Structure 1
């Protein structure tokens, strides 16, 4: 079979530049920026809930809620541009003590109750929800940690993985849902040190305001005492 290398090269270049454009998309746009996320709700999307999950050791089951996803799939029996649609009813993944996905909300239900309560009444995308099981076993305090996109920082009128990722906490009941990261600072990572009953996390701020996070931007370090009734964020400096 003869290969047209000119066509192959052109196709590869198109893929390269399309990927580059996606990577170069800024996470922050400052023009007329507002604190609240300004998004247009897609009324054509259908919300569905996954089957509930139970975090062992708690008294609550959790219903992950997200949008029904429809994919265009090329049909092997067809020619040209024909395709068929495939519907995915799965909106999350569950791995022991963590739920991941791009979720609109989580609904909490006490094991002795028939009613459910939403985690939040605000528009956001929940990317992960983690139950601190080892900390709970030692401290007897049950806490969930969330990574969330809660602000339309790139001002494209939608919330997704291209917006800044923030860090939240709540009790295992979903109550006391609290944001920890400062606005317009991107979460880098977090961990829990049970020996000090603290959650530590790092963020990065777009110091040069070029719309992206890079080596020239400032990194900040924080911790929260998980045993406190109110989770106060404390900044610290690990080095001078």
Structure 2
């Protein structure tokens, strides 16, 4: 009987821990028509330390990326939380080689150096916690467009005076040289995922909006789709909805 009680207690404890973790990790923000993004911008996350990392050269370009890491005050020397990957493979044609670069971890920003001109462009002075950065250079899938996508957090939506995964996620873009950095997703919409289609040089991404105002992003809220024409100089995210077209064809 005691054994059964201990097992039951263990299961209940683990369930409570899992539930607590899931709740804590959800981005929460209660917004209305009077809410403005400026109220959620922080000057500096004092729980993190900015450390300039070693530069990374992007193959077949004239650019070197200088990333700035974000380290916790408690784990300044924990370099295992970061990774920079370059994965290469060849297609059936041995002359076709593809490479892609992705920065994973926590980063405060990037400075892009042009090794031919010596010019250095800092992508932004805004306080942002970047969690995932993908570089699409001319060897990457499509030689017609070159750009960089950034996933991260720029608004302290849970008001704890720090930027991390508990805040609403956002999507950003810049040119390969670091210029024209801009936010693609809408403030207070939780960014979910994206898809880059080579066939039409367009970027598609999805967000979710807290429709019922309960401060949580759940299945009952509104899911929104956006498309960006990467050929255009000004990268604008245009909202679209294919559902009416599907219904018309039924």
TM range (shorter): 0.7 to 0.9
Q: Which secondary structure does the structure 1 equivalent of 2:19 belong to?
A: helix
TM-score with structure 2 setting the length: 0.77
The answer on whether the counterparts of 1:91 and 1:103 sit within 8 Å (CA) in structure 2 is no
The answer on whether the counterparts of 1:46 and 1:68 sit within 8 Å (CA) in structure 2 is yes
- Superposed CA RMSD in Å reads 2.9
Cα deviation per residue 1:38-88 (whole Å; 9 max; x = unaligned)?
Answer: 4363557542122211222322111221233466xxxxxxxxxxxxx8832
**Matched ranges for 1:124-135 at <5 A:** 124-133=128-137
Distance 1:40 1:138, change over 3 A: closer
Partner in structure 1 of residue 83 of structure 2: 93
Which residue of the other structure, out of 71, 80, 86, is the alignment partner of 1:68? Answer: 71
The answer on whether the counterparts of 2:44 and 2:127 sit within 8 Å (CA) in structure 1 is no
Deviation at 1:140, TM superposition (A): 3.8
Q: Mind listing any 5+ residue stretches in structure 2 that lack a counterpart?
A: 87-100, 245-250
Distance 1:49 1:4, change over 3 A: farther
Which residue of the other structure, out of 181, 184, 192, is the alignment partner of 1:180? Answer: 184
Deviation at 1:100, TM superposition (A): 1.1
Cα deviation per residue 1:150-204 (whole Å; 9 max; x = unaligned)?
Answer: 1111111111011111111101111100111111111111011111110011111
Count of aligned positions: 225
Which residue of the other structure, out of 148, 153, 157, is the alignment partner of 1:144? Answer: 148
TM-score with structure 1 setting the length: 0.80
Deviation at 1:118, TM superposition (A): 2.1
Distance 1:22 1:121, change over 3 A: same
